[in-house]
Amino acid sequence: MIRQREVLKTIDRFLGGALVWLFRPPKSISDQESLSMIRTILVIRPGGMGDALLLIPLLQAIHRRFPSATIEVLAERRNTEIFGLTPNLVSKVLCYDRIGDFLRVLGRRYDVVIDTEQWYRLSAVAARLIRAERRIGFATNERRRLFNIPVAYDQGRYEAENFLALLGGLTGELFSLDPDRPFLTVRTVPRGNPLSEQSGRAPITVLIAPGAGYPEKQWGPEKFRQLAEWLVENGYSAGLIGGPADIHLAGDITKGLPVQNFAGRTPLRETARLIATAALVIGGDSVALHLAAAFGTPSIALFGPTPPSQWAPPGKGHRTLYHPPPCSPCSRFGHIPPCPYDVDCLKRVTVEEVFAAVREILPVPILKPSGQ
């Protein structure tokens, strides 16, 4: 999946701009045209799981605003699992990196196409190829000419709010997110068979998510190991979560410790249930933190190259540890340039201040009831 991601970005870098200019801009839409006739809406979401998860408030707002409309998502194979967390919200999830799915979308007509990609142009080209009256997307570069409803993008705003602005571009209304109100509940997640519920094991108090989509966003195995040791010594029940790419990292952290290791052993829906029933999640800029925000589970976010204002969980139950040098944040539209300072921005976050943040949120070890 990482290779596919880099291939698509390379194609976009060298061909995306040229492809945009092969198309005429779509016809403008009159303000007098009625929105009541909208019945089919396609939402395009390339990228990773974190972006897809933060798209859910937009999908929920579309459903509330257009309750009679059918909502479909055109995603990538690597992020489709996210939409299984809300199985009744989207009628169909297709993948533009599956040729059969993409051809099916091209063969249909939609009332609205919303491209939620922030910068890259290929998804905007796809939106222009799809037959639709209204095409909405972010006006971050020349991609704006392929939409008849271009929307401004704000890199200083929480990403879920940016996505909601796309719906505002369609309706002219203001849609906002309450940072202290979860947008997912454990009841919406299809039940699996979480390892945490097997063999009479106790619920997890603190979940550690050491992985991230880019190595520059990872705090490091040594520090996570010290954190795990401290949690055990102070009576907290701890567990590690992550995907298949995090198996070796998690193994190094948990070796010899009485810490449950779920990394690479649970599908997304089971990891989501673990996060929903935990008392605290600790990790870098990753889908685990976004899941904590979605379920209202308190978190400690460790940030360096990416902007916390855009990606850290908002709300009163979350803490962000971030000590930026002048060069941070350096991430822009999902790209992190090579760092000449060995990612000093993230290394400035110390183990001791994470300990202190844990004590602030959980003064004494507690077990969160699994039914909540």
* Rounded Cα–Cα distance for residues 234 and 121 (Å): 50
Nearest to 78 by CA among 241, 287, 281: 287
What proportion of the chain, given as a percentage, has pLDDT over 70? 92
- Which tokens belong to 55? 């798209």
Band (pLDDT 50/70/90 cuts) for residue 370 is: very low
User: Given this model, what pLDDT does residue 189 score?
Assistant: 75
Note the pLDDT of residue 99: 94
- For residue 52, give the nearest of 135, 158, 163, 210 by alpha carbon: 163
pLDDT tens digits, 23-45: 888 988 766 568 989 999 999 99
Structure tokens at 191: 């039940």
**Pick from 80, 75, 5: nearest CA to 44:** 75
pLDDT at 17: 82
Instruction: Report cis status (omega within 30 of 0) of the bond before 329.
Output: yes
Q: Across the chain, what does the average pLDDT equal?
A: 91
Task: Give the model's pLDDT for residue 31.
Answer: 60
Phi, psi of 178 (to 5 degrees): -80, 110
| Domain locations in the chain as residue ranges | 2-171, 186-361
CA distance 94 to 34: 28
| pLDDT at position 2 | 58
**How would residue 367 be classed by pLDDT, with cut points 50, 70 and 90?**
low
**What are the helix (H) ranges across the chain?**
2-11, 17-20, 49-54, 56-65, 99-106, 122-129, 159-171, 221-233, 247-254, 268-277, 287-295, 308-311, 344-347, 351-361
Give the model's pLDDT for residue 200: 42
Q: Greater confidence, 32 or 363? A: 363
Give the pLDDT score at 199. Answer: 39
> pLDDT digit string (tens) for 176-187?
999 999 999 987
pLDDT, tens only, 271-313? 999 999 999 999 999 999 999 999 999 999 999 999 999 999 9
Which residue, among 84, 250, 256, 276, has the nearest Cα to 196 in the 3D structure?
A: 276
Instruction: For the chain, count helices (H), then strands (E).
Output: 14, 12
Q: pLDDT (tens digit, 9 = 90+) per residue, 59-114?
A: 999 999 999 999 999 999 999 999 999 988 999 999 988 999 999 999 999 999 99
| Top-tier CATH class for 186-361 | alpha beta
What topology does CATH give the domain 2-171?
Rossmann fold (3.40.50)
* Rounded Cα distance, 194 and 198, in Å: 7
Query: Which of 136-140, 148-152, 336-340 shows the lowest per-residue confidence on average (mean pLDDT)?
Result: 336-340
% residues pLDDT > 90 (the chain): 79
With 80 as the cut, is the pLDDT of residue 207 above it? yes
Predicted confidence at residue 260, as pLDDT, reads 94
Alpha-carbon gap, residue 47 to 64, rounded angstroms: 25
> Which of 95-99, 212-216, 366-370 has the lowest average pLDDT?
366-370
Which letter does DSSP use for residue 78 in this model?
Answer: G
Gap between the Cα atoms of 34 and 27, Å rounded: 16
Question: pLDDT tens for residues 233-247?
Answer: 999 999 999 999 999
Q: How many CB atoms lie within 10 A of CB 244?
A: 10
pLDDT tens-digit series, residues 256-267: 999 999 999 999
Residue 117 has pLDDT above 70, yes or no: yes
